[in-house]
Amino acid sequence: MPVTRLATCNLCDSMCGIRVDVEPGEGGASDRVTGVRGDPEDPLSGGHVCPKVAGLVELLDDPDRVRSPMIRDGTAWREATWEEALTAAVEPLRAIRRKYGRHAVGLYVGTPVVHAHCSAFAAQLLTSALGTHNRYDPNSQDSNPRLYACMEMYGDGLTMPIPDIENVDYLLVLGANPAASNGGQMSLGNARARFAALKQRGGRVVVIDPRRTETVAWATRHHFIRPGGGRGVAAGDAARPVRWGEGRHDPVADRRGERTGRVGAGLWCFQPGVGRRRDRD
Ligand code: SF4
């Protein structure tokens, strides 16, 4: 009898809740997935999924899907047993470690691996066994400064703050494009609905980006920035405290019981005049 199982999509950091329809296999046959859809009762994503999930059943049934280890002999590929494949992988690794040392081996761990408990733990074990400090993952490409800042601030690079988008009235999107990334780094399933809710309650979404990104369509304001100027904007904002315009509500200052100084905003990063407009935003 078909069953529906609850699961989490591990293809990206948004971690959308999904419902997987399964037809149990009979007479020793494997179970068969017949459908995957968003779980409307998932508290994080509320039923949202991206097109990747819509194609999962086709991917599972794809005749070209690799279903066993493959070994390349010259220019041709052939199927192999797991034992043969692991031996073929381990022997050269051993030889390289013996000759050049353990740090000569690099390891890249992809996003779906770190979002599934079993493979995440296995990757940790493999990293320890290899003993290399050359371990990479998607964060290595674009998030190392963030991880380093988290490590300095919270004592652990993986303890990351995420925007409390349900409770803010102002969201500054600097150099991010959640409409394309599905809010991955914010662990934000259904980013579009959350942006819409923020605006619905009178909040503002300001995007700073050299490009009119897809997220700009969700924003209340977009400021172009000169390419490469993001560091200047961040440094300008960090260097000087915020002064809000006359008569403007400032929840941060209200909480601290003080008025604060003017945004630096690294005016040289903007086209003339844009910096001052952005300060007002
Ligand atoms: S945004 Fe798409 S890939 Fe990412 S978790 Fe959700 S359904 Fe999966």
Euclidean distance between CA atoms 231 and 50, whole angstroms:
31
CB 173 less than 6 A from any atom of ligand 1 = no
Tell me what the pLDDT averaged over the chain comes to: 83
CB of 275 shorter than 6 A to ligand 1: no
Q: Mapping DSSP to helix (H, G, I), strand (E, B) and coil, where does residue 137 land?
A: coil
The string of pLDDT tens digits covering residues 119-173 is 989 999 999 999 999 999 888 887 888 888 889 999 988 788 888 888 889 999 9
Please list the helix, strand and coil fractions of the chain in percent, rounded to the nearest 5, in that order. Answer: 40, 15, 45
Q: Which of 8, 9, 56, 177 to mutate to test the pocket of ligand 1 (most atoms within 8 A of CB)?
A: 9
Ligand 1 within 6 A of CB of 208 = no
Taking the C-alpha atoms of residue 206 and residue 172, their distance in angstroms, rounded to an integer, is 5
Mean pLDDT of 63-86: 94
State pLDDT tens for residues 20-67.
Answer: 999 998 888 888 999 999 999 998 888 999 989 988 999 999 999 999
Enumerate domains of the chain plus CATH numbers: 3-61 (3.30.200.210), 70-136 (no CATH), 170-280 (no CATH)
The reply to whether ligand 1 has any atom less than 6 angstroms from the CB of 94 is no
Q: If phi over 0 gives left and psi between -120 and 50 gives alpha, with beta otherwise, what is residue 182?
A: left
Distance between CA atoms of 196 and 208, rounded to whole angstroms?
18
CA of 210 relative to ligand 1 center, distance in Å? 26
Cβ atoms of 207 and 178 closer than 8 Å: no
- pLDDT at 1 > cutoff 60: yes
Q: How confident is the model at residue 244 (pLDDT cuts 50, 70, 90)?
A: very low
Q: How far is the CA of 187 from the centre of ligand 1 (A)?
A: 10
Task: Output the pLDDT for position 106.
Answer: 94
